[in-house]
Chains A and B, each alone.
Chain A
Amino acid sequence: MAETQLIVHEPFREAAQQREADALGMWVFLATEAMMFGGLFFALIVIRVIHPQGAQEATNELDMWLGGLNSALLLTSSLTTTLAVTAARNGARGFTIGCLLASAALGAAFLCVKGYEYYVDYTKGLIPAVGKPFPIETTGAELFINGYFVSTGLHAIHLFIGICLAIGLATVVWLRRVPLPGRSIVVEMTGRYWHFVDMVWIFLYPVLYLMDRGG
């Protein structure tokens, strides 16, 4: 991508400087997100260490195939997001819009599968406070499932924000209010956020669904 094609705003003098500042700001934000989700991962790992039996029984209640399907959906959405970024840098407006909408659709499909999983969890009595009593008596199982809902719920909120961003961005690109490739940095930064949300799931899936499943 020729940096000269980019639109430079105050206070920056060069496109490269502006791009670096944007990337730095985004990464400072993503680092805080990593630390927030990291605390949750740490809690889940500690529950697994302290209550291995309870955590394993709780894990066996979760459907690893639905979780795997969701992983595949998110990884595919990361590919479409990368394609959108490359297309935006090359000024391919239509392809950028198509890829952003594809990412949003894949993200929405993820949330639909997650919603179905929550429904199954409800029928089993896994959801706190509503429905049937918790089905597993082993110590630690309920705590682990609570951690599952907190972490997947927080991730789902992040993904929902990502879907809104992708649809909103596709719209403003379509309306030419974000001209390409001049303002391709906007697509790039939205892409960073999307990939990060994907990366959180890359860790959530094995920690919640795969670890200690026992073959």
Chain B
Amino acid sequence: MAKVVRTGDVIVFVVLMGLLALNMAQARWLDLGSSGRIVTIGLAVGQAAVLLWYFLELRSAAVLTRLAAAAGFFWLALLFGLGLNDWLTR
């Protein structure tokens, strides 16, 4: 079974679960005030980045494939950046 179960995949899984536990713990037991939202989203972005890079295999993808993946997130960044700029900057 060593051929199909790679240690790296298990490590990635443990990291993802660790980030989940961290996010739950800070939400339940820590009161971070106004920075709480940033921490919550930041940990989720960390999880998503790990998932994209390893499980979704963007690390070994062709440049064109990476661009296609990045395009969706680029438009989302525009939506969030322009849509929330008033609240984020006051």
Contact = CB atoms under 8 A, between A and B. Distances in A.
Query: Does chain A bind chain B?
Result: yes
A30 interface: yes
28 contacts: A20-B65, A24-B65, A27-B68, A30-B69, A31-B69, A31-B72, A34-B76, A38-B76, A38-B79, A39-B79, A45-B84, A46-B84, A64-B24, A68-B20, A75-B13, A79-B13, A83-B5, A87-B4, A92-B4, A195-B55, A202-B47, A202-B51, A206-B41, A207-B41, A211-B27, A211-B36, A211-B37, A214-B36
Contacts of A199: 48, 51-52, 56
Contacts of A34: 72-73, 76
B27 A64 contact: yes
Given A27-B68, A45-B84, A49-B87, A210 B23 contact: yes
Nearest to B70: A31
B85 to A, nearest CB: 12
A56 to B, nearest CB: 11
Interface in A46-83: 46, 48-49, 64, 68, 71-72, 75-76, 78-79, 81-83
Contact of B48 (A30, A68, A95, A203): A203
B68 A206 contact: no
Contacts of B61: 23, 27
B20 A210 contact: no
Contacts of A49: 84, 87
Contacts of B87: 49
Interface residues of A, number: 52
Interface in B22-67: 23-24, 27-32, 36-37, 40-41, 43-44, 47-48, 51-52, 55-56, 61-62, 64-65
Measured as residues with beta carbon below 8 angstroms from the partner, the interface class of chain B is 35 or more
Contacts of B79: 38-39, 42
A198 interface: yes
Contacts of B64: 20, 24
Interface of A: 20, 23-24, 27-28, 30-35, 38-39, 42, 45-46, 48-49, 64, 68, 71-72, 75-76, 78-79, 81-83, 86-87, 90, 92, 95, 191-192, 195-196, 198-199, 202-203, 205-207, 209-215
